[in-house]
Amino acid sequence: MALPAESGKAAFVRAMFDRISPRYDFMNRLMTFGRDQAWRRRAIDLLELEPGAVMLDLGCGTGDLAAEAARRRAVAIGLDFSEGMLREAKGRDGGFALVRGDALAIPLASRSCDAIASGFALRNFSGLARVFGEWARVLKPGGRFALLEVDSPRNALLRLGHHTYFHGVVPLLGRLIADRSAYSYLSSSVAYLPAEHELFEMLRRAGFEALAKEHLLAGAVQIVTGRRAAERVQNDAGTF
């Protein structure tokens, strides 16, 4: 399908998630054969959360990552700009707070978070450089992020099978069960994802270091992690 222009992307994505929110969790489990929950647990593992740590689930959807963090005694906050998704998240007893807001202007104080997690939301954000700048603003120096997203296997045969499933079967399932246009978009929206070297460079420019990537499902899923660089402190001699 034709992807929305950048100027209209936010409104398109918000309306789409409002429509599919009642069946979003069911479709996720169906499309991934139930593996998405294990991937989310792994993303939270990589954050190494201490009890009481403040974690922001950005683009939280129905709150899976926030709920997992709360189970580990973190102070979890789920943020999304879709009212429908937040309504679904409120329906679960997850032990986390919910905030409606935009990733381009996170309504949290600077240095208020110990960690940020985001699950399958990166390709739905507009203006990634600004988004990563907001991550750097709200994270404390040394704070970590875990970014869970789709990817493409490097092996040619696996890549062909993944392409057939993700761009053929998934839209068909969406048409039969949920929303045809939404799941066509979700498959096509991988075009919004920057290449690995571009993504890492954007993150470095935003102030992140120790960047790493973990491959899941034979390379069809990725978790990118990193740490907010500690700010340099001026010494008595006036140098850094």
User: What pLDDT was estimated at residue 3?
Assistant: 83
What is the C-alpha separation between 155 and 139, in angstroms, rounded? 36
In a domain, 195, yes or no: yes
Q: Which residues contact 176 (CB under 8 A, 6 or more apart)?
A: none
Q: In Å, how far are 73, 84, 103, 118, 121 from 60, measured between CA atoms? A: 18, 12, 11, 7, 8
Question: Which pLDDT belongs to residue 5?
Answer: 79
Q: Average model confidence (pLDDT) for the chain?
A: 91
β-pairing, 139-150 vs 221-228, is antiparallel
Average pLDDT in the 67-92 region?
96
Name the E strands within 81-161. 97-100, 113-119, 139-150
**Residue in 37, 23, 14, 13 with CA at minimum distance from that of residue 221:** 37
Output the pTM of the full model.
Answer: 0.90
Is the pLDDT assigned to residue 94 strictly greater than 50? yes
Residue 80 within a domain: yes
* Spatial separation of the C-alpha atoms in residues 110 and 31, rounded to whole Å: 37
The domain total for the chain is 1
Question: For 151-196, what is each residue's pLDDT tens digit?
Answer: 989 899 988 998 888 888 888 888 888 787 888 888 888 889 999 9
Q: Is residue 232 part of a domain?
A: no
Whether 231 is in a domain gets the answer: no
Say if 239 falls within a structural domain: no
Judged against a pLDDT cut of 50, whether residue 240 lies above it is answered with no
**Domain presence at residue 28:** yes
pLDDT tens digit string along 209-226?
A: 999 999 999 999 999 999
Predicted pLDDT at 237: 39
Q: 209: domain range?
A: 6-226
3-state helix, strand and coil shares in percent for the chain, rounded to the nearest 5:
50, 20, 30
pLDDT at 32: 92
Q: Is residue 200 part of a domain?
A: yes
Assign residue 122 the CATH number of its domain. Answer: 3.40.50.150
Q: Are 49 and 115 in contact (CB under 8 A)?
A: yes
User: What pLDDT digit, counting tens, does each position of 25-62 carry?
Assistant: 999 999 999 999 999 999 999 999 999 999 999 999 99
> Among 107, 213, 207, 219, which Cα is nearest to 155's?
219
In a domain, 89, yes or no: yes
The whole-number pLDDT of residue 1 equals: 63
Longest CA span, the chain? 68
DSSP string, 10-56: HHHHHHHHHHHGGGHHHHHHHHTTTTHHHHHHHHHHHHTPPTT-EEE
